[in-house]
Structure 1
Amino acid sequence: MSREKRIKKKKLGSYPFVSVVFSVTLALFVMGLFGILLLLTNNLSKIIQENVEVQVFLNKNLSTNERTKIIKTLSVKDYVVRKDGEAQVQLITKEQAAKQFAKETGEDFVAFLGDNPLRDVVTVKISPEFHQEENLSEIKKEIQFIRGVYEVSYMQTLINSINKNVQKIGLVLVGFAILLLLIVVILIHNTIKLALFSQRFLIRSMQLVGATARFIRSPFLNRAIGFGLIAGFISIVLLAGVIHYADAQIEGLLSLVKLEQLGILSATLLVIGAMVGFFSTFAAMKKYMKMSLDELY
């Protein structure tokens, strides 16, 4: 009687739910964590690069209109960083610079010298795609030809160092991402393959009674996609909890990641879970359906 119940309970396409979903969820969760790390690193690198400045020192005794004209000329250049449609060009007058120096050092050199030897400066933030040395050199030459500009300065060594470090970090992270993706795919594939191992005799029984390959595969493939989507959803919920906790511990962490990026990452996890589940199940089914009876044992 008990044997008959066990046979009845074993349906086509059914295999361990908890173990498969747990394994796939764990794999996708780890991949999601790395994806968040990748986004944080990429966005932080972009912020650092977008804060690279070129300092444009102006001639003395320029009128307000002349300074405004220089700022407008620089603001329309395609190499200037724009945020919310506004060019990141800022004027720092010599009076502002003197006050800032006095505040930081506690010494009022203007009172001591009786004059302010500083110059008005326009800071221009340069887009990352123009950070190559030849591009910056051309930008410097172009700005120097603007009427009213005394000198153009930027820290080439620092910019080169930033570019090299960003490239190195990018290559390392991409390498890890590819390796992690391979590990996740292999882990999910092996998990599903082992889960289907218990169904091998049922698959053979269906073949013996004349069921088509498509009829046999369909329940398993549908179940695999469902398991992948469930695991993806659970991993997304876990990631949301981790992000919320991390943001509570590190103020402003979420500001480094855009909501649309998190949305794309979440969708990617769902797609990976469903696709890897589908193709792994398809490959395992194909293997078991071609096995001889001796190989099944």
Structure 2
Amino acid sequence: MASSFERYQKRKLISSYFSVILSIFLVLFLLGTLGLFIMNSEKISNNFRETIPMSIYFNDKATTAELEQFHRDMEIAPFVKDVHYVSKDSAAKSHQDIIGEDFLHFLGFNPLENSFDIHLKGDYVVSDSIKNIELDFKNNPLISDTVYDKQLVELVNENIKTITFWILVISSFLAVVAMLLINSSLRLLIFSSRFIIKTMQMVGATKSFIRRPFIWHSMKLGIIGSLLAIAGVFGVSYYLDSKFPSLGLGFKEDYFPILIISVGIFLVGIIITSISTFFATQRFLNLKSDELY
């Protein structure tokens, strides 16, 4: 009979450990994933901004040498990510492929202009910077027009600000939930040992002596949960890099953000479990014997 009861108690204890580790893992994994996105939010937002093209059209007065010089200048310009030259002949061919008719034969001449398609670096695709760049281009007498989607630039920047704000709000909320959830799980685990705590106290053990093994044990559970969460974050980052390379996260090339998040997850797991266990054991240490029931 005693053996069956001991096995039942052991299974119950293992189940409690598992629930605590699972709680720690889920909460820290969510926090770590959000933290990863927050650390890379600028890289993600710049990647979206850099997909917005700017087309620069040159009038017929521009010579081949001047076009080549402009191309070289754009390749070394600090605000340019990449530049692509589109001749009037290749532009005409593209238009013919789109409309399905030879409009050159109908008009008798090519009305299109030589142009450059430029993608600006993300930091410069904001209202003030891109307007200054546009003005500089328009001051060039050889440039007839500069075209980009102004509404799209404003929309992208507004959406990025909104998304960043809500990610920070959600992260803060999850941080609070994490502490409450982990604290609740650990309190339930320590609740099952309340009689042992009181017995040790009655035979003269000090509070610090009683708390020490419980804190150390919860720290081990926190370490296990943290390591599982770190493995989950690594898995998510690898998956995003493999399946969505267009995001430009580059986790495979730059491990620094993941390492920072991993250290943060590890420390948070240890700190939260230690603090929660401290206060949970303190509560039972302060209870009277008849209040344990």
Please indicate the TM-score interval, normalised by the length of the shorter structure.
Answer: 0.7 to 0.9
2:144 match: secondary structure? strand
Distance 1:287 1:15, change over 3 A: farther
Question: Which digits, 9 at most, give the CA deviation of each residue in 1:67-100, with x for residues without a partner?
Answer: 122123334433333xxxxxx1222222222222
Distance 1:255 1:133, change over 3 A: closer
User: Structure 2 CA distance, aligned partners of 1:199 and 1:266?
Assistant: 32
Partner of 1:285: 281
How far does residue 38 in structure 1 lie from its aligned partner after superposition? Answer: 6.5
Are 1:70 and 1:148, in contact at CA under 8 Å, matched by a contact in 2? Answer: no
Partner of 1:72: 72
1:161 aligns with 2:166: no
User: Structure 2 CA distance, aligned partners of 1:218 and 1:47?
Assistant: 49
How far does residue 253 in structure 1 lie from its aligned partner after superposition? Answer: 2.4
What residue identity is the alignment partner of 1:272?
A: V
How far does residue 227 in structure 1 lie from its aligned partner after superposition? Answer: 0.8
Q: Report 1:228-239 matches (<5 A).
A: 228-237=222-231
Question: Which digits, 9 at most, give the CA deviation of each residue in 1:11-66, with x for residues without a partner?
Answer: xxx99422321232233344456567768987554322112232221122433321
Structure 2: where are the runs of 5+ without partners? none
What residue identity is the alignment partner of 2:110?
A: N
Q: Report the aligned-residue RMSD.
A: 3.5
Partner of 1:144: 138
Distance 1:215 1:126, change over 3 A: same
Partner of 2:28: 28
Partner of 1:258: 250
- Which segment is superposed worse, 265-274 or 174-183? 265-274
Distance 1:19 1:117, change over 3 A: same
Equivalent pairs: percent with the same residue? Answer: 27
2:243 match: secondary structure? coil
Partner of 1:194: 188
Q: Report 1:13-162 matches (<5 A).
A: 16-32=16-32, 44-81=44-81, 88-146=82-140, 148-162=142-156
Are 2:137 and 2:143, in contact at CA under 8 Å, matched by a contact in 1? Answer: yes
Partner of 1:274: 270
What residue identity is the alignment partner of 2:78?
A: D
Q: Report 1:153-232 matches (<5 A).
A: 153-232=147-226
Are 1:90 and 1:124, in contact at CA under 8 Å, matched by a contact in 2? Answer: yes
How far does residue 187 in structure 1 lie from its aligned partner after superposition? Answer: 0.7
Are 1:144 and 1:151, in contact at CA under 8 Å, matched by a contact in 2? Answer: yes
User: Structure 1 CA distance, aligned partners of 2:121 and 2:185?
Assistant: 46
What residue identity is the alignment partner of 2:17?
A: F
Are 1:231 and 1:273, in contact at CA under 8 Å, matched by a contact in 2? Answer: yes
What residue identity is the alignment partner of 2:200?
A: M
Partner of 1:84: none
- Which segment is superposed worse, 131-140 or 194-203? 131-140
Distance 1:191 1:42, change over 3 A: farther
Number of aligned residue pairs: give it. Answer: 282
Are 2:45 and 2:122, in contact at CA under 8 Å, matched by a contact in 1? Answer: no
Partner of 1:85: none
User: Structure 2 CA distance, aligned partners of 1:232 and 1:166?
Assistant: 30
User: Structure 2 CA distance, aligned partners of 1:170 and 1:50?
Assistant: 18
What residue identity is the alignment partner of 1:133?
A: S
Are 1:70 and 1:146, in contact at CA under 8 Å, matched by a contact in 2? Answer: no
For normalisation by structure 1, the TM-score amounts to 0.78
What residue identity is the alignment partner of 2:284?
A: Y
